[in-house]
């Protein structure tokens, strides 16, 4: 009986330590990907709102704010689990700078935002299914919000691609 207890204690030690360890890098990478999508979608919706008719512009502004709130929630979770605040990716800011001479790029449309939101919803749902606990709920909520914004809010406003 005493040997069984000692063996259990030896086996229990690593199990307890594993429960308190940081999540695997793939979990962090998945959350960072969702964070970058949230920033990109917020920026895209804001830019589309600037050139859209008033009715759709108001909806696009709400979508931009919602995706910014998603980015904040993801940043807080990444900070909580890694102990470090994630820094914004430099790819988003460098890709907006034109490198060729020619006509300026067309401003984004509400249909562009709908397409991006659908991709973000699919990506967040996929990652949510691979997570557990709070992270699964957070990503599931983000997926639902993106789907609702694309289908209901912007879809009913006639902004579907």
CATH number for 71: 1.20.1260
Whole-number pLDDT of residue 114: 96
Distance of CA 149 to the CA centre of its chain: 14
Q: Scan for tokens 């709908």, then name that residue.
A: 114
Residue 140 domain-assigned?
yes
- Residue 102 per-residue DSSP state: S
The answer to whether 37 touches 123, Cβ cutoff 8 Å, is yes
Residue 28 forms part of a structural domain: yes
Average pLDDT per block of 10 residues along the chain, 161 residues long: 40 41 69 96 97 94 98 95 77 47 85 96 96 94 97 76 52
Note the pLDDT of residue 50: 96
Number of domains in the chain: 1
pLDDT computed for residue 85 by the predictor: 86
67 assigned to some structural domain = yes
Query: Which pLDDT does position 161 carry in this prediction?
Result: 52
> How far apart are alpha carbons 161 and 157 in whole angstroms?
12
Asked, for residue 161, whether it belongs to a domain, the answer is no
- The pLDDT of residue 67 is 98
CA 70 to chain centre: 6
pLDDT of residue 103: 82
50: containing domain:
24-85+107-156
């Amino acid at each position: 009986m005493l040997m069984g207890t000692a063996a259990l204690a030896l086996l229990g030690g690593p199990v307890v330590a594993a429960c308190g360890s940081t999540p695997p890098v793939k979990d962090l990478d998945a959350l960072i990907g969702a964070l970058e999508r949230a920033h990109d979608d917020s920026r895209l919706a804001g830019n589309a709102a600037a050139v859209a008719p008033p009715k759709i512009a108001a909806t696009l502004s709400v979508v931009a704010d919602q995706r910014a709130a998603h980015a904040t929630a993801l940043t807080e979770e990444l900070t909580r689990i890694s102990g470090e605040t994630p820094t914004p990716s430099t790819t988003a800011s460098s890709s907006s700078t034109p490198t060729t001479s020619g006509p300026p790029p067309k401003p984004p449309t509400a249909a562009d935002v709908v397409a991006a939101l659908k991709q973000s919803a699919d990506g967040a749902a996929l990652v949510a299914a691979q997570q557990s606990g709070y992270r699964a709920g957070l990503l599931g909520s983000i997926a639902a919000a993106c789907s609702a914004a694309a289908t209901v809010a912007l879809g009913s406003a006639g902004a579907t691609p």
